[in-house]
A = this chain, B = another copy of it.
Amino acid sequence: MFFNILQSKFNKGIQIVQKAVSSKSTLPILTGIYLQAVKNKGVRLVSNNLEIGIEYWVKAEVKEEGSIVLPANQLSNIVRELPSAEIILKVELEKQQANLKCLNSEFVLKGFQADEFPKLPEVKVEKNFKVKVSAFKKMLEEVKFSVSSDQTQPSLTGGLMLLEDNKTSMVTTNTYRLAYSWFKNDNTQDEEISFILPGVTLNELSNLLDGEEELELLIGDSYVCFNFNEIIFISRLIEGDFPNFREVLPGQYKSRVKVDRKELLKAARRVSLIARLNSNVISLKTTEEQLHIKPVDSEFGDAHEILEIEIEGNKEGQNIDIDAGYLIDVLNVLNDDVVLLEFISSINPLTVSKSTEDDYIYLIMPIRPGA
């Protein structure tokens, strides 16, 4: 195995596949990157932590074919630090080690045997469709922060993806809050398809998605494959049932508040500085033209923020107690100058949505007095 490769291209490829490398593993070979040199094609880089796997081809002048697994951390650190020039990589297969040369620098890396690296799962495609990378990325970013970290309910640690006629959506919830984002597309669909993607997939995928290209989804029984920007990204699916989220979507609001997003974010953050000394619960109260925010508990201090708002619907005062962190999270993710808060009563969820588009609903469950 012997190839020449540009440092910048090699570095880019390594950064991409590194997102699916195990940081620590009972199987040491999973902390490595699989390299396969193929004449007239280049070098195939593969990573696989058994939850997600990534494959990416880098252009290279391959002089001798072959494959090896090299330690991902060492390889990525070394290649990143090398000068922007041509790297010559030669593998001594009998010693299972690679020799890297670049100008006046030379490295020997001890590797693993390539045939011991677990193959990426084959996705038995039952359904495939295409969407815009940018729309898909937006959807992931609007829901990924809201997955549950409670490992005893595995299905909530992922996001429910829904394919309906001309509509793609995703839902995440930890039962105390719920994020629901969607976009329209041209994919006609006879019946609804749904599956649960792990939280790590939502995160790593949204970090890799970039640009205005198309993303192809190949959906199998236990795995899904995403093809985009020459990257092949395979994710395990989470088995189990996702709660029926449509049941918790609230009906008609009583009061709808229009409020400046940044002002609300700053005010919520300031009140949270006091509220978090206790349980981080804040109360929102509306009057005809104002929104008042206070910590529910004033044992260790107090705060009071007043924001100017516009109200539609019932102008009689609304009052709800919520976790400040759940409000801050969604205000950090949205981009709109103005957001909508919809109130029904102090025991119904508070809804946060966009003022510019009808493609997102975020629910915060109320904390009942005395709870």
> Are A107 and B269 in contact (CB-based, < 8 A)?
no
Chain A: number of interface residues, binned into ranges = 20 to 34
**Cα A77 to Cα B269 with chains together (Å):** 10
Q: Which residues of B contact A266 (CB under 8 A)?
A: 81, 83
- Among A77, A107, A304, A305, residue most surrounded by chain B Cβ atoms (within 10 Å): A107
Q: Which residues of B contact A273 (CB under 8 A)?
A: 74, 77-78, 81
A274 within 8 A of B: yes
Take A74-B274, A274-B74 as given contacts and tell me if A303 and B108 are in contact as well, using a CB distance cutoff of 8 Å: yes
Tell me how many chains of this kind the complex includes. Answer: 2
Take A74-B301, A300-B110, A301-B74 as given contacts and tell me if A269 and B81 are in contact as well, using a CB distance cutoff of 8 Å: yes
**Cα A267 to Cα B103 with chains together (Å):** 12
- Among A270, A300, A302, residue most surrounded by chain B Cβ atoms (within 10 Å): A270
A108 to B, closest residue via Cβ: B302
A294 to B, closest residue via Cβ: B106
> Are B108 and A298 in contact (CB-based, < 8 A)?
yes
**Cα A109 to Cα B300 with chains together (Å):** 7
> Are A301 and B81 in contact (CB-based, < 8 A)?
no
In the complex, what's the smallest C-beta–C-beta distance from A224 to chain B, in angstroms? 36
Cβ-defined partner of A104 (8 Å) among B83, B269, B298, B307: B307
> Are B270 and A303 in contact (CB-based, < 8 A)?
no
**Cα A270 to Cα B270 with chains together (Å):** 45
A218 within 8 A of B: no
**Cα A274 to Cα B274 with chains together (Å):** 48
A40 within 8 A of B: no
Cβ-defined partner of A301 (8 Å) among B104, B110, B300, B305: B110
Cβ-defined partner of A78 (8 Å) among B104, B109, B270, B304: B270
A81 to B, closest residue via Cβ: B270
A82 within 8 A of B: yes
Interface residues of A in 132-155 (CB under 8 A from B): none
Cβ-defined partner of A107 (8 Å) among B81, B108, B301, B307: B301
Given contacts A81-B266, A105-B303, A105-B306, 18 further A-B contacts (CB under 8 A): A74-B274, A74-B277, A74-B301, A78-B270, A78-B273, A81-B273, A83-B266, A104-B305, A104-B306, A104-B307, A105-B267, A105-B304, A106-B304, A107-B270, A107-B274, A107-B302, A107-B303, A107-B304
13 A–B pairs (Cβ distance < 8 Å), ordered by A = A77-B273, A78-B273, A81-B266, A97-B301, A104-B305, A105-B270, A105-B305, A106-B303, A107-B274, A107-B302, A108-B274, A108-B301, A109-B301
